[in-house]
């Protein structure tokens, strides 16, 4: 809900509502707002992708939740690009949905373009990538937030985290810039790029977290005062150009594809309008020449930017310098909204001056006469090093303080949304006095990401990659609901509709797998098999065994041996993948069992690593800093060697023996 304008004791909050992006029809007005309620279970700071998922999860778990944002018109805004999904990111978006989050649902309802990516690499890698309408996506997300029970939305600037003064600090609430105080049991910080945000476009610098919005400047100081170790990262965005000025004969259209929805609660996509294409072009030698000659004017190479930029999504300046041997880089033109002429130039993130940007845009095929609506820019912001967090995303230094999203050194909407959901869940559990939930590397990409952040830390903005997941054949985008929706149901995050859809799908898969295992072909069916281009059988063979053959697909089974009840697309997909990859999946299950053994060897929380002299000095320092909860987690800490682990295990065994001896003496 949003508080209505009251008649008593008003609070005057400045509020800006933008008109058409890049246009001049902007106006300001005062919202007269007053809040009588100041006590909450959970307070979430920031209403981006992380903040919305955190607040919605907390509220749906029955906790009284306050969501504070600088601008209620920019809830879940998409400042960087208009896409959701892509390699590994699509897996995260699907996991958010399987856990009862909103990202997938909102994408399905506002998308303009969708296609599969990674299809040439098998089911472990392939996933969805969609473009969402940049206006409709945040509008729909705001509607969900406003109508969520237990959730209050407030426009304001959080300036200070309030805590007790004890050695082990505990949050008690927040103070806004206008002096108002709100009390809570837990606080989730999801500030994105707004902490001391500074935007760069060539020599021009503007204070702000993103285009047209102010930075949050007091909260960084408050976090630092609490002992949170801050760093400085950088991200960027690309120019926006006028669709009407593209030479369409020189760019290649990439049409939308027939894809399943992002959300498991949608049976099929049902966009309000026919889906749009995106378009492919590329940089040229002339593009590279223009950029090289103006590197000194780039905020990045001119020395204005101190923050560390993303390794896996570099600016066009970085691409030209780091990959000097390449004559060309791909560029994609992506439509930002259904009914506007704004195109996002994917692949051309930059901090070069505006005049250089328009010059290099004109060197791209199809963009020779393009009009630039808005220049790209880089933004620097404060982040908090995530190795000071528990796997729940709660701070190790301040009880009840959770951090999620880009503040933890990640990049991308999907990484932020997944962290936000985890932080919101655990903040709600802590506020209710319940045990926390952690996500494991063997169970989800979300678990892989959080374990990487907490255990390994970050040196540059973290991006989720499929190569980071050891068990990615088991962590496919298509089975995210099978892996995670039972947990969502247990936590109260899965609606009755979602749970009903899940159970029907699960039962249908089991039923069809059982039917295939108990329906047989005999040599009398060999003519049919030869007609399908596969080898005949010499004895009775089940349909399940036949489906394992590379030259037989499930569609052939459906046509020749149809089930009694219709089989949906997602059920058919699960049946085929589980059958064809059964051997590989079983092998991975054995690897997961070995992994689980290491994870099950818990390390006592009171261990003093500095006293274990048989462990190397670096190992002691790293173990003291991270405080791993298990031998498995300890094994992934950079600088901790196998010899260190062996010495730790010996110490733990000796400590266990001593404890038993003490118990025997006491008895």
What pLDDT is attached to residue 633? 94
Instruction: State pLDDT tens for residues 408-434.
Output: 999 999 999 999 999 999 999 999 999
Q: What is the band of 24 on the pLDDT scale with cuts at 50, 70, 90?
A: very low
Domain extent for 247: 240-380
Q: What is the mean pLDDT of residues 541-551?
A: 95
Q: What is the CATH number of the domain that holds 620?
A: 1.10.150.570
Q: What is the mean pLDDT of residues 544-568?
A: 93
SS3 213: strand
pLDDT greater than 90 at residue 665:
no
**In this structure, are 510 and 635 located in the same domain?**
no
Strands of 137-251 (E only): list them.
Answer: 151-155, 158-163, 169-176, 181-189, 198-201, 204-207, 230-236, 240-242
* Residue 206 falls inside a structural domain: no
Q: What is the mean pLDDT of residues 602-621?
A: 92
**In this structure, are 635 and 658 located in the same domain?**
yes
What pLDDT is attached to residue 594? 87
C-alpha triplet 618, 623, 629: angle, nearest 5°: 160
For residue 585, report the phi and psi dihedrals to the nearest 5 degrees. -65, -40
Distance CA 344, CA 241 (A): 7
Distance CA 599, CA 630 (A): 5
**In this structure, are 579 and 625 located in the same domain?**
no
Q: What is the band of 211 on the pLDDT scale with cuts at 50, 70, 90?
A: confident
What pLDDT is attached to residue 667? 64
Domain count, the chain: 3
What pLDDT is attached to residue 210? 66
Per the document, the length of the chain is 667
**In this structure, are 513 and 634 located in the same domain?**
no
* Pair of tokens at residue 648: 């730790």
Of 327, 349, 380, the last residue of a domain is 380
* Residue 397 falls inside a structural domain: no
**In this structure, are 576 and 618 located in the same domain?**
no
Which residues are CB-neighbours of 385 under 8 A, at least 6 positions away? 229, 230, 231, 409, 457, 458
* Residue 285 falls inside a structural domain: yes
Q: Which of 24-28, 56-60, 162-166, 594-598 has the highest mean pLDDT?
A: 56-60
**In this structure, are 246 and 364 located in the same domain?**
yes
Contact 248, 372 (CB under 8 A): no
* Pair of tokens at residue 1: 């809900």
**In this structure, are 252 and 374 located in the same domain?**
yes
Report the Cα 15 to chain-centroid distance in Å. Answer: 29
Q: What is the mean pLDDT of residues 449-455?
A: 96
* Residue 131 falls inside a structural domain: no
pLDDT greater than 60 at residue 31:
no
Q: What is the mean pLDDT of residues 345-351?
A: 92
> How many CB atoms neighbour CB 12 within 10 A?
11
For residue 521, report the phi and psi dihedrals to the nearest 5 degrees. -105, 150
Instruction: State pLDDT tens for residues 217-254.
Output: 789 999 999 999 999 998 888 999 999 999 999 999 99
Q: What is the CATH number of the domain that holds 546?
A: 1.10.10.1800
* Residue 8 falls inside a structural domain: no
* Pair of tokens at residue 213: 């919005």
**In this structure, are 244 and 358 located in the same domain?**
yes
* Residue 26 falls inside a structural domain: no
- Greatest CA separation for the chain: 89
* Pair of tokens at residue 335: 């439509």
**In this structure, are 518 and 630 located in the same domain?**
no
SS3 387: helix
> How many CB atoms neighbour CB 461 within 10 A?
22
**In this structure, are 245 and 366 located in the same domain?**
yes
Distance CA 276, CA 271 (A): 11
**Nearest Cα to Cα of residue 648 among 618, 600, 602, 614:** 614
Distance CA 356, CA 358 (A): 6
| Average pLDDT for the chain | 89
């Amino acid at each position: 809900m949003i508080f209505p304008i009251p008649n008593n004791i008003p609070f005057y909050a400045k509020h800006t509502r933008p008109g058409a992006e890049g246009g001049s029809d902007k106006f300001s007005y005062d919202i007269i707002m007053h809040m009588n309620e100041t006590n909450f279970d959970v307070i979430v700071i920031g209403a981006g992708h992380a903040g919305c998922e955190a607040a919605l999860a907390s509220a749906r778990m029955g906790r009284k939740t306050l969501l504070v944002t600088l601008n209620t018109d920019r809830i879940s805004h998409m400042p960087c690009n208009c896409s959701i999904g892509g390699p590994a990111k699509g897996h995260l978006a699907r996991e958010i949905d399987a856990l009862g989050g909103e990202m997938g649902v909102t994408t399905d309802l506002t998308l303009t373009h969708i296609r599969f990516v990674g299809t040439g690499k098998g089911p472990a890698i392939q996933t969805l990538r969609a473009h969402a309408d940049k206006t409709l996506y945040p509008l729909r997300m705001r509607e969900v937030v406003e109508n969520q029970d237990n959730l209050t939305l407030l426009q304001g600037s959080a300036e200070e985290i309030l805590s007790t003064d004890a050695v082990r600090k505990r949050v008690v609430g927040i103070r806004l810039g206008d002096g108002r105080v709100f009390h809570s049991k837990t606080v989730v910080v999801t500030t994105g790029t707004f902490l001391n945000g500074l935007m760069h476009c060539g020599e021009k610098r503007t204070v702000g977290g993103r285009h047209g919005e102010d930075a949050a400047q007091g909260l960084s100081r408050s976090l630092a005062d609490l002992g949170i170790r801050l760093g400085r990262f950088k991200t960027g965005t690309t120019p926006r150009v006028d669709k009407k000025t593209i030479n369409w004969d020189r760019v290649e259209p990439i049409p939308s594809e027939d894809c399943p929805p992002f959300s498991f609660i949608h049976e099929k996509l049902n966009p309000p309008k026919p889906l749009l294409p995106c378009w492919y072009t590329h940089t040229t030698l002339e593009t590279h020449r223009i950029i090289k000659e103006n590197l000194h004017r780039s905020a990045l190479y001119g020395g204005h930017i101190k923050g560390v930029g993303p390794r896996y999504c570099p600016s066009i300046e970085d691409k030209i310098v780091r990959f000097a041997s390449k004559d060309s880089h791909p560029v994609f033109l992506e439509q930002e909204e259904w009914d506007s002429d704004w195109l996002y130039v994917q692949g051309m993130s930059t901090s070069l001056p505006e005049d250089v940007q328009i010059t290099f845009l004109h060197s791209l095929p199809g963009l020779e006469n393009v009009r630039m609506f808005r220049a790209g820019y880089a933004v620097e912001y404060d982040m908090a090093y995530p190795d000071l967090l528990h796997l729940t995303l709660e701070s190790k230094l301040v009880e009840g303080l959770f951090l999620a999203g880009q503040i933890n050194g990640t990049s991308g909407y999907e990484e932020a949304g997944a962290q936000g959901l985890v932080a919101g869940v655990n903040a709600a559990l802590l506020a209710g006095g319940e045990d926390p939930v952690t996500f494991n590397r063997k169970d989800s990409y979300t678990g892989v990401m959080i374990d990487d952040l907490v255990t390994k830390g970050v040196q540059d903005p973290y991006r989720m990659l499929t190569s980071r997941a050891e068990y990615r054949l088991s962590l496919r985008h298509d089975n995210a609901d099978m892996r995670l929706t039972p947990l969502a149901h247990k936590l109260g995050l899965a609606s009755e509709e979602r749970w009903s859809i899940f159970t029907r799908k699960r039962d249908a898969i089991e039923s069809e797998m059982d039917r295939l295992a108990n329906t047989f072909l005999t040599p009398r069916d060999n003519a049919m098999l030869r007609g399908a281009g596969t080898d005949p059988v010499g004895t009775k063979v089940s349909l399940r065994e036949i489906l394992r053959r590379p030259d037989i697909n499930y569609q052939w089974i459906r046509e020749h041996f149809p089930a009694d009840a219709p089989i949906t697309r997602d059920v058919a997909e699960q049946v085929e993948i589980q059958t064809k990859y059964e051997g590989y999946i079983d092998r991975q299950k054995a690897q997961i069992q070995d992994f689980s053994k290491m994870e099950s060897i818990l390390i006592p929380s009171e261990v003093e690593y500095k006293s274990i002299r048989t462990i190397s000095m670096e190992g002691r320092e790293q173990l003291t800093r991270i405080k791993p909860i298990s031998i498995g987690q300890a094994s992934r800490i950079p600088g901790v060697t196998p010899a260190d682990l062996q010495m730790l295990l010996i110490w733990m065994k000796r400590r266990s023996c001593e404890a038993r001896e003490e118990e025997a003496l006491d008895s």
